[in-house]
């Protein structure tokens, strides 16, 4: 019997590469125990995995992907609608909160598009400056609104009076501080890029923050001036899709290849019809047509006011030469809604086209992923901003009734009169109220005695 040879090495049948030999149990255990190295995004990757056909997830077909996207989109659509109506009926302050959140998130999404290169270039303070300019702009705009609508509260408060009186100078000082800090942060070799970022930030502030601010003013003027323009844009978008897939043939604009002329015009007619009937419903409720005089009001408590003349039926006479010679009554708002619906149908969609061109420039599909199935907030609000801005301008130009308010009188007295003149006004008002029988002689004597001190 021959002895077995020890320490005899046999040549490998395959090459020394790891791909050419069979993996041993010890090799597999070493791979599984290796934690791997972190990637740039923070995730951990392993150098290799044991190939198992069963561990691979089956790839979803295009139909399944579209189905899942449709389900997610539909669910979140109803969630947004349900949440919106709850907020609207809960009170104006909740709608203002939603508009503020939309304002901030939209600014964040737009700024994020151009903020990535600043990280690659290792530029400091770029992101901080963006948020500083946002905070400064919102402080100025919101302060203007609060002072305008609630000056009768601010101007009689000892602490808030200086802030209200010098609000614009304080806002200007805050902006100048950011401007100086930006200039001081400029780095050699990065001037062109940093000034581009500066311009991009201000563009976002104007197109998003400033326009959204006027939407908030619409809420304070009356819920109808917020809800009606927003619903017109949504309705127009829906009917543009329906009319487009039904009888659309001619392409409208290259930025949005799916938009058709037939869908564009068909949606205009449908939006006018919707606006007419929706206006008839909203005008019947003071909760929608009254300006805000109590931020704690809701649909249950309601609001009280003298309706704007545009909501009161007015006589319109058809001249005799037309062959009718008839007088009929109609609310002027029914004529105004034709203008609102026309703008929502023919002009507001260009806000969406602008957003589409912006996304094509940066080669992105959506502005973000804030709403599952829908993309970013900006993708849903691109037409709403310009529509809200138009509603504010049109309302104050053709509908609003300007008259002196208590806040206006107090502001004029505080800013335009001396202390002695203010006391004289109080004496005169107290004497007038006594003559009208509103206050007693005891109160009049008390006021005169205290004012002489």
How does pLDDT run across 300-319, given as a tens digit for each residue?
888 888 899 999 999 888 88
Whole-angstrom distance, CA of residue 260 vs CA of residue 278:
26
Whole-angstrom distance, CA of residue 32 vs CA of residue 46:
8
Is 50 exceeded by the pLDDT of residue 184? yes
Mean pLDDT of 417-427: 82
pLDDT, greater one: 10 or 70: 70
230, 87 contact by CB (below 8 A):
no
Whole-angstrom distance, CA of residue 188 vs CA of residue 396:
48
Binning pLDDT at 50, 70 and 90, where does residue 49 land? very low
pLDDT digits (tens, 9 = 90+) for 202-232: 999 998 999 989 999 999 999 999 999 999 9
pLDDT at 334: 93
Is 90 exceeded by the pLDDT of residue 348? yes
Whole-angstrom distance, CA of residue 331 vs CA of residue 335:
8
Number of H helices and number of E strands within the chain?
18, 6
- Tell me the chain's radius of gyration from C-alpha atoms: 33
Binning pLDDT at 50, 70 and 90, where does residue 83 land? confident
pLDDT at 138: 95
Whole-angstrom distance, CA of residue 339 vs CA of residue 421:
47
3 Cβ neighbours under 8 A, 6+ residues apart? none
pLDDT, greater one: 126 or 29: 126
pLDDT at 3: 47
pLDDT at 5: 45
Whole-angstrom distance, CA of residue 437 vs CA of residue 357:
67
Task: Lowest mean pLDDT of 118-127, 306-315, 336-345, name the range.
Answer: 118-127
Is 60 exceeded by the pLDDT of residue 427? yes
CB-based burial label for 351 (10 Å; 0-12, 13-18, 19+): buried
CB-based burial label for 134 (10 Å; 0-12, 13-18, 19+): buried
Q: Which of 279, 281, 340, 284 is CA-nearest to residue 307?
A: 284
The angle subtended at Cα 91 by Cα 88 and Cα 97, nearest 5°, is: 75
Is 60 exceeded by the pLDDT of residue 22? no
Is 50 exceeded by the pLDDT of residue 6? no
CB-based burial label for 217 (10 Å; 0-12, 13-18, 19+): buried
Q: What pTM was computed for the model?
A: 0.75
């Amino acid at each position: 019997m021959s002895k077995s040879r020890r320490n005899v090495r046999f040549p490998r049948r395959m090459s020394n590469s790891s791909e050419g030999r069979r993996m041993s149990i010890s090799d597999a255990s070493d791979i599984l125990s290796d934690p791997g190295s972190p990637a740039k995004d923070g995730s951990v990757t392993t150098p290799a995995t044991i190939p198992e056909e069963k561990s691979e997830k089956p790839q979803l077909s295009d139909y399944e992907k579209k189905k899942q996207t449709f389900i997610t989109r539909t669910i979140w659509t109803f969630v947004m609608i349900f949440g919106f109506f709850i907020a609207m009926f809960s009170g104006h302050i909740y709608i203002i909160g939603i508009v503020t959140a939309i304002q901030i998130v939209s600014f964040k999404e737009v700024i994020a598009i151009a903020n990535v290169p600043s990280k690659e270039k290792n530029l400091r303070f770029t992101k901080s400056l963006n948020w500083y300019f946002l905070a400064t702009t919102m402080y100025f705009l919101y302060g203007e609104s609060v002072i305008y609508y609630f000056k009768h509260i601010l101007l009689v408060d000892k602490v808030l009076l200086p802030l209200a009186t010098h609000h614009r100078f304080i806002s200007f000082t805050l902006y100048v501080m950011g401007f100086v800090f930006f200039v001081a942060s400029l780095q050699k070799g990065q001037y062109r890029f940093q000034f581009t970022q500066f311009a991009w930030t201000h563009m976002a502030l104007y197109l998003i923050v400033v326009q959204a601010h006027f939407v908030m003013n619409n809420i304070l003027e009356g819920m109808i001036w917020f809800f009606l323009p927003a619903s017109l844009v949504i309705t127009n978008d829906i009917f543009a899709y329906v009319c487009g897939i039904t009888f659309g043939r001619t392409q409208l604009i290259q930025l949005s290849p799916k938009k058709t002329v037939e869908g564009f015009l068909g949606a205009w007619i449908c939006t006018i019809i919707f606006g007419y009937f929706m206006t008839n419903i909203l005008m019947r409720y003071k909760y929608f047509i009254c300006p805000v005089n109590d931020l704690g009001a809701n649909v249950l408590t309601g609001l009280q006011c003298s309706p704007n003349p545009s909501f009161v039926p007015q006589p319109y006479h058809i001249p005799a030469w037309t062959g009718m010679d008839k007088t009929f009554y109609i609310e002027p708002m029914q004529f105004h809604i034709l203008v609102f619906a026309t703008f929502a149908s023919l002009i507001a969609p260009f806000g969406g086209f602008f957003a589409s061109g912006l996304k094509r420039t940066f080669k992105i599909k959506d502005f973000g992923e804030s709403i599952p199935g829908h993309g970013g907030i900006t993708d849903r609000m691109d037409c709403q901003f310009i529509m809200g801005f138009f509603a504010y301008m049109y309302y104050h130009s053709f509908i609003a009734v300007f008259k002196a308010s208590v806040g206006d009188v107090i502001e004029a007295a505080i800013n335009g009169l001396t202390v002695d003149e203010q006391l004289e006004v109080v004496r005169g008002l107290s004497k007038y109220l006594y003559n009208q029988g509103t206050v007693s002689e005891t109160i009049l004597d008390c006021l005169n005695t205290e004012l002489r001190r």
